Amino acid sequence: MTHRKYLKEKKRIVVKVGTSLITYENGKINLPRMERLAMVLADLQNRGKEIILVSSGAVGMGVGMIGLEERPRDVVMKQALAAIGQVGLIRLYQKFFDEYNKVVAQLLLTRDGIENSLRRKNARNTLLQLLEMGIIPIINENDTVITDEIEFGDNDTLSAAVATLIQADLLLILTNTDGVFTADPHFNLSATKVPKVMKASSDLKDVDLNGSSKMGKGGMASKIAAAELCREHNVDVVIADGTDPYTILDILEGKDLGTFFVSDATSQMAG
């Protein structure tokens, strides 16, 4: 609790949601969950928080929109589905945020847009300007044009890159488990949760990192890697269950939910 009390003070917050959270197993969009997510994020902005949403789901939405039973493996097909699905995804977000009088903006990024110094500066300036204007940026990887050389690979990595780019106070990685467990709790009933990580090499030495969702790409390994990247840049991270978006509010109240990756800056504040 000593470290978690500082979560109340976080102002600039990046929230990452994966495909498995906003779609059902058949690829169709989980409309009630998306609407609750929009309401929670709109409420946080009303409280004075700066909110950035990193959302997967373009390919998954494309799968559902044209009636496929599963995510294809063919790269060109996935890129086509991303082009189809991204339109539907941002349209839904815009509709839900409109209900709470919030304006959203869409940013599609690739790795070179963060690593190239000029593009990095432009991306950072654009995001900071949007936040200053009271806009909620919605970010996804530009799956339609990516190649192996310029892709993030998953939106966990993208969310960490965004969080460090704009010097966020907190990254919330929302998934379908309550944080990091010693094994996949969906299949191993003896798995136990790791509530806090101060040093990954010791705190996570017994963790089995296998497992990923049917519709998404990132497993727990990518989430931990993203969290560690953020900790190196003094950004706190919480990996938590996002099946109920109201959990976000509980986390920011300091409740013991998910796994809290504590940055050195927060650790020093806590003494």
| Helix runs in the chain, H state only | 19-22, 31-46, 58-65, 75-98, 112-115, 117-132, 155-165, 200-203, 220-232, 247-252, 264-270
- From first CA to last CA, the distance across the chain in angstroms is 13
**Spatial separation of the C-alpha atoms in residues 97 and 166, rounded to whole Å:** 23
pLDDT in tens, 120-146: 899 999 999 999 999 999 999 876 665
Average predicted confidence (pLDDT) for the chain: 85
**Spatial separation of the C-alpha atoms in residues 200 and 228, rounded to whole Å:** 8
Residues 6+ apart with CB under 8 A from 32: none
Written as one letter, the residue type at 170 is L
DSSP-derived secondary structure letter, 70: S
Question: What per-residue confidence (pLDDT) applies to 135?
Answer: 97
**Spatial separation of the C-alpha atoms in residues 121 and 164, rounded to whole Å:** 13
Written as one letter, the residue type at 197 is V
Per the CB < 8 A criterion, the answer to whether 33 and 243 are in contact is: yes
The stretch 24-40 carries a mean pLDDT of: 89
Question: What per-residue confidence (pLDDT) applies to 53?
Answer: 98
Per the CB < 8 A criterion, the answer to whether 96 and 34 are in contact is: yes
By mean pLDDT, which of 26-30, 135-139, 145-149 is the weakest? 145-149
Is this model's pTM higher than 0.85 or not?
yes
Token pair recorded at residue 158: 């993208």
Q: How many helices (H) and strands (E) does the chain have?
A: 11, 10
